[in-house]
Structure 1
Amino acid sequence: MKILSIEVGNLFGIFNHRISLMSESNITIVIGENGLGKTIILEAIDSFFNKRFNYFKSIEFDFFTITFDNDEFWRIDKKVESGNIYLNVNKFDQSIKKKPDLGSRAKNNAANKTAKIKIDENVSSRKRAAYERKHIEELELINYLNHEKNRDYESVQLEMELMNLRRLELKYGKHLGFFNSNESDDSQPKWFTDALEKINVRLIETQRIITAKEIGGDSYVNSVQKCSAELLKMITDAVKLSSDITSGLDSTYPNRLINKLKQGTRDTFEELNIALKTLDDRRKVLSSVGLGVDTKDSDILQIDDTQSDLIKLLKLYIDDSHEKIKPFDELSIKLKLFQDIINKRFKHKILQINRVSGLNFKSTVKKDKKNNFEVIPASKLSSGEQNELILFYKLIFNSHKGDMILIDEPELSLHISWQNEFIADLKEVTEINDVTVIIATHSPDIINDNWGLKVELRGVE
């Protein structure tokens, strides 16, 4: 299921908005003056499809309508019954919209299916006490980790970030897993829970950098370090899969080679030389994006018609080599795009990716005492550089085919030239990841020459 449009009625008791998504580019830019509800709409869609229904208890609205590409639409409204607040989700066929003479009550009665979700007014004291106990246990754990000499700095810092994020949730009442006190999925109809599982929505919020001041502690983990750790995990997983494939192919190589020699081959010298060149190029790409794939056989000499005995042997070698590096294919495409986008923005520094240390930054102008270009810690990047890096990291590596990505104010801390390039780079991301993106922005420089992608929210004229 893919969302085609989002409509909200009487938001804040005032505004009626409709956002029709751009299907051709998969990028929709929502603009409008402050106070019209751009951020609220993004947060509401994110909360609904991620089952954080409590978010809706504080919003004043008559309905949200979400239209899908399977000829159905859902109407979401809020009701008070016996002192409890409920979200009602009614599913309709598109044919209902084509009957203007049908009154609202009749349309409600025409709903194919209905889901009813209870929204609790407050988190129970018992649940809050349990959450605070868990929080104290985490503090004790972090205290232990900080004094454990065998733990590396990055892993300790990541543990601290997790703990500090939960502290923020507790302080400000943010809703993640523990605070979601809605009825269990077992109480909801299957059509509803199944649909929510199929629709993946992610919100990239305005604030993307965690700082010590926000957390209230003396230490923190920069989100760039978290991205680096996640990327290392992806590389490690790809290396392990490649190693497993290599072991399997190598163990059967002698028998497969003998069979290949017996069967003969129809491959020509020209075809084999092209295949060798393709393998060589593929390896160099993987090496260039920091995956460290073995390239000692790169620049293999081309064979000629005096070496016909090598055709069968090399053909099997080439086929096996392609299989061994296949686990890196998708990751290498994303890594190259990520590096290209970041390095054309950053001035006087360059992003490099290493399979051991993750994201590395080096100066392109300043050298150390050994005459090597200086390494730049992630914490020394500007706020704009960190925001841009984290934003594109999430878009490229944390997104999957069919996802809907919501981005609030991507212009945060960005120079005008970076803003002008944003949509062009975003189009490359949507192309490789096949995602749908909705952007809420105040910046004409973000839009640049992409005014055909905008949807403008208007106030009361």
Structure 2
Amino acid sequence: MRVLGLEVEGLFGLWDHRFELDRDEHVTIIYGRNGVGKTTLLRLVQAFIDRNWWYVADTRFDRLSVVSDDNRRLCVRRSRFDQVPDADRQSCIELTLSFEESDNVLERDIIRLDPPPSLVEEITELAESSGLQLRREGPIHWVDPANGRVWFYGDILAELGAWEITYPHRDAADRPWLADAVGGLRAHYLGPDRVLGASPWYHDKPERVRSFRTAEGWASEIRERLVSARAAYAKHAQELDATFPSRVLEAMSATTARPASLSALLDLMDGVNRRRNRLAEVGLLEATTSDLAGDLSWVQSDAGALALLNVYLSDALDKLDCVADLDAALSGLVEQVNERLIRSRLAIDRDRGLSIVNQAGVRIPPGRLSSGEQHMLVMMAELYLRAQPGDLLLIDEPELSQHVEWQKAFVEHLIGHAQALRFDAIVATHSPDIVQGHRALLRGLGESPETDSDA
């Protein structure tokens, strides 16, 4: 499923937004004045695609539609509290899911969410300990009798700082049609909290999410990936080594195959050794030395030796290909980050994951970089190590703490990477430097491009 359009009705009870995504550049920029719901829309889309119904229910909207590349719509309608029977107002909230094509409803289902008593008790205790006397009036909303303010679940967690209280993540109902409609689509929200490690909804896995959202966490993640890559390389090497003798004998007995020349094989060996050494430097492989030395001219006249060497080098390339994708991703990350760092250099480190050293030779922990450098590092890590073909990236305020020159280059770089990897991105921004030269990608929320003064 490729997302080509988004529609939301009744956001905050005020806004209706509809826009198409850019199909060619793979990047769409949304903008609008504060309060039109850019951040909320991105988070809502993420929660919907991930089927996080509690977060969806905690967002104030009437209907959200995700338009796919086959012109079908995946929709969720949220019942307003005055539409839920009085007897159910404190026990459930209703979400109606549908899969639609033109005017035909292909599939439909209703989710009635009933918060567990333990969650209600935790929220009540949290409010009381903060000096609030809130009265529960709905499944996920409370009212302050003193001023009439409505507090939703997410409001309480955000303002009272109790992210350890967890959302029930998914309902247990099996909906094969929904899984089929979403397909392999994955959505990633990259918000202003990416440096702090907070997450808008995955509170049931705080350690995992935190490691994905901070510079220090990405260093740990890369270290883990290096360990996994070495293990995968070793496993594949064992599999090839187990059949190596039989394949060599088969190659030696072949009468039609013409073995490569010794010169070509030695050139190939030189390239293999260079790749091995470079991969060992970044911790993707164990350090090794070449096992071929001395005068090998005699091999040219020995067809059997040429056949053996040919199989050996073919296996060596096959093994190296096992870590090629991670190698390319890490190389791209290092290149892009180093283009932006001043008087410091980033490198991949076997033991630390990431190593940053300034011109004075001082090692800088990723968490001690400037705020802007951390935002940039995390953003690039998400682009090069998280994004996969077919994904939808939801990037909120990429301009935060970023130098103007970085902002100006951001969209052009994002377009190139998105087109190469075949993912789509929606960028929410207020920065004119982010959007300059890319007005064709702009989608205004709440107002037209001609009247907006913020973008």
Q: Provide the TM-score with structure 2 as the length reference.
A: 0.76
Q: Compare 351-360 and 448-457 and name the one that shifted more.
A: 448-457
Match of 1:205 in 2: 191
Q: Which amino acid aligns with 2:191?
A: E
Deviation readout 1:52-107 (Å, 9 max, x if unpaired): 2233445443422221123311333222332343121232213x3xxxxxxxxxxx
Match of 1:36 in 2: 36
What displacement does 1:318 show?
Answer: 0.8
For the structure 1 residues 24 and 62, does the alpha-carbon distance in structure 2 shift closer, same or farther, using more than 3 Å as the test? same
For the structure 1 residues 225 and 29, does the alpha-carbon distance in structure 2 shift closer, same or farther, using more than 3 Å as the test? same
> Which residue, 215, 231, 242 being the options, matches 1:224?
215
What displacement does 1:119 show?
Answer: 3.6
Q: Which amino acid aligns with 1:437?
A: A
* Structure 1 residue matching 2:301: 3-state secondary structure: coil
Cα distance in 2, alignment partners of residues 292 and 404 from structure 1: 32
Cα distance in 2, alignment partners of residues 170 and 52 from structure 1: 21
Cα distance in 2, alignment partners of residues 436 and 400 from structure 1: 10
Cα distance in 1, alignment partners of residues 419 and 278 from structure 2: 20
Equivalences for residues 44-443 of structure 1 within 5 A? 44-79=44-79, 80-82=83-85, 83=89, 84-94=92-102, 96=103, 110-120=104-114, 123-127=115-119, 172=161, 178-180=166-168, 183-186=171-174, 189-196=175-182, 198-210=184-196, 223-264=214-255, 265-269=257-261, 271-272=264-265, 275-276=268-269, 278-280=271-273, 282-283=275-276, 285-287=278-280, 289-292=282-285, 294=287, 296-297=289-290, 307-309=300-302, 310-364=305-359, 366=360, 373-431=361-419, 433-443=421-431
Cα distance in 2, alignment partners of residues 9 and 283 from structure 1: 55
Cα distance in 2, alignment partners of residues 395 and 301 from structure 1: 45
Q: Which amino acid aligns with 2:65?
A: T
Question: Could you tell me whether the CA contact under 8 Å between 1:43 and 1:203 is conserved in 2?
Answer: yes
Aligned-pair identity (%): 26
Q: Which amino acid aligns with 2:424?
A: T
Q: Which amino acid aligns with 1:286?
A: L
Q: Which amino acid aligns with 1:360?
A: S
Q: Which amino acid aligns with 2:117?
A: S
Question: Could you tell me whether the CA contact under 8 Å between 1:117 and 1:182 is conserved in 2?
Answer: no
Cα distance in 1, alignment partners of residues 33 and 158 from structure 2: 29
Cα distance in 2, alignment partners of residues 250 and 204 from structure 1: 43
Equivalenced residue count is: 394
Question: Could you tell me whether the CA contact under 8 Å between 2:197 and 2:214 is conserved in 1?
Answer: no
Cα distance in 2, alignment partners of residues 302 and 408 from structure 1: 60
Any unmatched runs of 5+ in structure 1?
A: 97-109, 133-166, 213-219, 367-372
Cα distance in 2, alignment partners of residues 40 and 199 from structure 1: 20
Deviation readout 1:99-157 (Å, 9 max, x if unpaired): xxxxxxxxxxx42221212244xx4332466999xxxxxxxxxxxxxxxxxxxxxxxxx
Question: Could you tell me whether the CA contact under 8 Å between 2:226 and 2:283 is conserved in 1?
Answer: no
Q: Which amino acid aligns with 1:336?
A: S
Any unmatched runs of 5+ in structure 2?
A: 125-155, 199-209
For the structure 1 residues 130 and 175, does the alpha-carbon distance in structure 2 shift closer, same or farther, using more than 3 Å as the test? closer
Question: Could you tell me whether the CA contact under 8 Å between 1:31 and 1:455 is conserved in 2?
Answer: yes
Cα distance in 1, alignment partners of residues 248 and 311 from structure 2: 7
What displacement does 1:29 show?
Answer: 1.1
What displacement does 1:11 show?
Answer: 2.6
Cα distance in 2, alignment partners of residues 300 and 22 from structure 1: 56
Question: Could you tell me whether the CA contact under 8 Å between 2:219 and 2:366 is conserved in 1?
Answer: no
What displacement does 1:171 show?
Answer: 5.1
Cα distance in 1, alignment partners of residues 294 and 373 from structure 2: 43
Q: Provide the TM-score with structure 1 as the length reference.
A: 0.75
Cα distance in 2, alignment partners of residues 207 and 302 from structure 1: 60
* Structure 1 residue matching 2:74: 3-state secondary structure: strand
